[in-house]
């Protein structure tokens, strides 16, 4: 989920003290890092919540990444071949939105029933083929709690890196340090993905030189669906998409489109302000310049482009009910919270965490150069998008990757999107260029796996197998 201020969204190892959360059946354990100061790993093993497949291990709890900084995680072992399956991190966006959205509404082991008090197994869960970890970051998001100092994408990177240092140093997760590491994210993940993976690689280089101690985090593939990569390009795409969303037609009347165009290209309009933001770089004035640009573009371009539609699924109105929010009721159940080890009230999307990013204009900054560099490094990358999403629509995503400065730029421009099928039905239009793939997923909104669970699992499986996307 990508939020903006102008629109509302929607016990294996024991080191140190051991306590019991709610039930004597589920003891919590603690591991204290010997390298990272003021850090620890506190968890409940096999709570019996959500993943009820026999023999499949799960852990939930907190990674303390600093003093009064407790980052929530939930890990699920792969249902099949967990000893060899890759290790996948999932992060939702916002910024400030919980990864429990991905867990319960998109591709986790279970979904919550309409009663808000029970679950059923998800046959299309991504832990069919991968060990999965979901993390709530920055602090204040989801079940995470404590002091939040993160006010930008760049500032968020070190804490996620530190979280994996603590995880991989522990006996509980050390075996996953050498696995294929998949970085999967969505929405504001268009910022998080390029930034975090770049930071991981920079830290790997320092570790290799002996400049710092730590576990290398070698990302083998990165997946970003409906990402927010380059605001200048993607704000322009709001007009294009509202004028004619491929497969759905014109979304807004002519007079609204005229106003959007004027807001984009008029004096001191969205495009001019975005360009000023880019030119400001990281100067002392950049926070104000970028924040103002983001606010203007949001109110005068994005909001009218959405109109009374659901920004995450143009086929619904603004009261869109899919995917349902039953899981939020479930996660406020005191018994569920105690059993999984949650120590704070659940916040699906934290306005406080989001506000810190708003104040620095982080949303208006581009991470396309870093994405380009990662593509140039031949990292396995999938940029995909549900074609019914307005918020981070596929036209804006496609135009962003077409603008990347990398060796495959010309080839991508000359490669038309071609359909792939699942059991004979078209599921996506794709372009594969070496290790890079762009995909438009048909009849899916912002949360692709919620709308097309079978297609999403097949695409995920092909990516972790390092295959170009293809028909099955």
Q: Which of 230, 313, 363, 389 is catalytic?
A: 389
Residue 40: how many other CB atoms lie within 10 Å: 19
Task: Could you please state the CATH topology (level 3) that the domain comprising 1-230+325-472 is classified under.
Answer: Rossmann fold (3.40.50)
Residue in 219, 227, 161 with CA at minimum distance from that of residue 190: 227
Contact assessment for residue 217 and residue 224, using Cβ atoms and an 8 Å cutoff: no
**pLDDT of 392:** 97
| Six token digits for residue 178 | 């050498």
Place of tokens 């190892």: 13
What whole-number distance in Å separates Cα of residue 457 and Cα of residue 459? 5
Q: pLDDT at position 34, please?
A: 52
- Structure confidence by residue, pLDDT tens digits, 272-297: 999 999 999 989 899 999 999 999 99
> Could you read off the pLDDT of 218-277 as tens digits, one per residue?
999 999 999 999 999 999 999 999 999 999 999 999 999 999 999 999 999 999 999 999
Q: What is the pLDDT of residues 10-20, one digit of tens each?
A: 322 222 222 22
Residue 31 has pLDDT above 80, yes or no: no
**Mean confidence (pLDDT) of the chain:** 92
Determine which one of 130, 144, 187, 350 is catalytic. 187
pLDDT of res. 14: 25
Rounded-to-integer distance, Cα 301 and Cα 260, Å:
5
Where does the pLDDT of residue 1 fall: very low under 50, low under 70, confident under 90, or very high at 90 and above?
A: low
pLDDT tens per residue across span 130-139: 999 999 999 9
Give dist(CA 192, CA 39) in Å, integer. 23
| pLDDT, average across residues 98-111 | 97
Cα–Cα distances (Å) from 431 to 319, 389, 470, in that order, read: 34, 20, 10
Separation of first and last alpha carbons in the chain: 29
Q: Which residue has the tokens 């581009």?
A: 366
What is the per-residue pLDDT for 318?
A: 80
Distance, CA of 70 to CA of 146 (rounded, Å): 6
C-alpha distance from residue 451 to each of 71, 91, 187, 445, 448 (Å): 29, 18, 15, 7, 5
pTM of the entire predicted model = 0.92
388 within 8 A of 230, measured Cβ to Cβ? no
Q: Which long-range contacts (CB under 8 A, 24 or more apart) does 274-279 make?
A: 274/231, 274/232, 274/235, 274/364, 275/232, 277/231, 277/361, 277/364, 277/365, 278/232, 278/365, 278/366
Q: Which one has a higher pLDDT value, 378 or 39?
A: 378
Mean pLDDT (whole number) for 290-310 = 96
285 catalytic residue (yes or no):
no
What is the Cα–Cα distance from 104 to 112, expressed in whole angstroms?
7
The span from the CA of 90 to the CA of 81, in Å, is: 20
191 tagged catalytic: no
Residue 230 appears among annotated catalytic residues? no
């Amino acid at each position: 989920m990508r939020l903006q201020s102008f629109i509302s969204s929607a016990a294996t190892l024991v080191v140190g003290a051991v306590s019991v959360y709610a039930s004597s059946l589920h003891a919590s354990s603690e591991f204290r890092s010997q390298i990272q100061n003021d850090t620890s790993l506190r968890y409940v093993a096999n709570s019996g919540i959500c993943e009820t497949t026999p023999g499949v291990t799960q852990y939930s709890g907190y990674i303390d990444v600093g003093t009064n900084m407790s980052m929530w995680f939930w890990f699920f072992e792969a249902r099949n071949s967990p000893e060899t399956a890759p290790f996948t991190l999932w992060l939702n966006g916002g910024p400030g939105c919980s990864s429990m959205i991905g867990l319960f509404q998109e591709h986790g082991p279970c979904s919550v029933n309409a009663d808000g008090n029970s679950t059923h197994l998800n046959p299309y869960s991504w832990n069919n083929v991968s060990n999965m970890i979901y993390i709530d970051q920055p602090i204040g998001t989801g079940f995470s709690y404590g002091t939040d100092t993160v006010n930008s994408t760049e500032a968020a990177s070190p804490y996620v890196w530190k979280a994996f240092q603590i995880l991989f140093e522990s006996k509980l997760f050390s075996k996953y340090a050498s696995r294929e590491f998949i970085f999967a994210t969505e929405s504001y993940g268009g910022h998080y993905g390029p930034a975090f993976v770049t930071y991981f690689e920079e830290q790997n280089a320092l570790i290799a030189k002996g400049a710092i101690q730590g576990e290398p985090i070698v990302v083998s593939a990165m997946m970003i669906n409906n990402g927010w990569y380059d605001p200048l390009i993607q704000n322009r795409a709001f007009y294009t998409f509202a004028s004619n969303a491929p497969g759905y037609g014109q979304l807004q009347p002519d007079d609204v489109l005229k106003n959007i165009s004027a807001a984009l290209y008029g004096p001191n309009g969205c495009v001019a302000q975005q360009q000023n933001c880019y030119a400001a770089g990281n100067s002392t004035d950049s926070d104000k310049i970028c924040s103002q640009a983001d606010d203007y573009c949001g109110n005068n371009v994005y909001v009218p482009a959405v109109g009374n539609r659901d920004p995450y699924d143009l086929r619904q109105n603004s009261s869109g009910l899919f995917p349902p929010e039953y899981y939020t009721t479930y996660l406020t159940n005191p018994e569920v919270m105690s059993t999984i080890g949650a120590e704070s009230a659940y916040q699906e999307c934290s306005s406080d965490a989001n506000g810190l990013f708003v104040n620095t204009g982080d949303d208006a900054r581009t991470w396309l150069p870093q994405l380009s560099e990662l593509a140039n490094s031949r990292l396995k990358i999938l940029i995909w998008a549900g074609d019914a999403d307005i918020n981070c629509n596929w036209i804006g995503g496609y135009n962003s990757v077409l603008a990347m400065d990398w060796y495959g730029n010309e080839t991508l421009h000359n490669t038309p999107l071609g359909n792939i099928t699942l059991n004979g039905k078209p599921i996506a239009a794709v372009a594969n260029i070496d290790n890079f793939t762009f995909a438009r997923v048909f009849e899916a909104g912002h949360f692709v796996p919620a709308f097309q669970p079978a297609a999403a699992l097949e695409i995920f499986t092909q990516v972790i197998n390092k295959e170009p996307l293809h028909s099955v």
